[in-house]
Structure 1
Amino acid sequence: MDQQHELDWNDAAWLNPPLATAVDGTDLLVTTRENTDFWRTTGYGFVRDDGHALLTALPADAAVEVTFLARFDTLYDQAGLMIRVDERRWIKAGVEWTDGLPHLGAVVTHDRSDWSLSPVPDWDDRLVTIRASRAGDAITVRARTEGHPWRMVRLAPLPPTASATAGPFCCSPQRAGLQVRFTRFALGPADKALHEDPGT
């Protein structure tokens, strides 16, 4: 959206710094540490909170966008956008490698995590944008690839009084060394309506 303003990578702070970062022009290149993830209990029985997230304040009535490119090839490789209140309340949305394909998905955590996903084989090795819009008591998550319309990913609760942060995230639960190129990090006004296309 033309009302968004792009953030400098230095305008945010790392939760769990990655193995390596580098600035390439205006892009941020991130390399993950070994066996990193965000998850709480459900189905797997463990709690993980050591993935990498570069976070800045997400006030009420704001939207955040992250664009990235990654070559996933190992089970559970993932990258996208995180919205976080604390270690027990957070949302991550993006692309994750599972069953030999990239999947568009989201995990919403309120003490325990859930997981929803859908295969997007044509999104492999393409620029992906994830958008989270905060309005009222909800977060609306959308995603798209360059030149294609937005897809609705998730509508999830987030208390309007909660102090939240948001920004790009990535992790690699089965290895080290996933490399992600983040090309954009922007903040702007929340979407006007749940079913309205937020535009370009």
Structure 2
Amino acid sequence: MEMAKNAALVVVDVQKGFEEEAFWGPRNNPAADDNIAALIDVWQMTGRPVVFVRHDSEKAGSPLRTGSTGNGFKEYVEERRGRGDGPELLVTKSVNSAFYGSPDLDAWLREAGVGQIVVVGIQTNMCVETTARMGGNLRYDVVVPLDATHTFDVAGPFGWQLSAEELARATAVTLHGGGFARVVTTKEVVDAAG
């Protein structure tokens, strides 16, 4: 796999509020945080652009609501912000896609001449998948290291329930099989970017 010298790492919603297990339920992939941290480190060491995305929930009971402790980035993300040699951007949003945030992510990427993005973060099947799909629709070369994402069990219609692992696999198949993104591992991305 080839990783462009100016490929942007888009770190989606790695916020403290997602640590509230009582609210979200069981999660998958306990290694996600270590993998996300490793990718941020490689991006910062190589001077590539990093985009930190924060979900500012407008829902009163959400652990991610604006002004709450849970709205802040997890410590390992916060301590890395501003430490790289490359460009950095903070995008805030209240919907699933980082492309519908502020400032305009698409405009920032295009102005910087970025054609490839690596999307990581939380939740695999929600904001990560939506951002990756939209990135694909906008003609970016989108890479999703699946093991640098995680999600939670979800109940749906008709009494259906899917585990976090089932949802992650469904996202991987949809993104990769549907041509929205290449779904890979963190190691593959690190090896290509180093």
TM-score by length of 1: 0.29
- Give the structure with the higher percent strand: 1
- Give the structure with the higher percent helix: 2
TM-score by length of 2: 0.29
Q: Which has the higher contact order (CA 8 A, sep 6+)?
A: 1
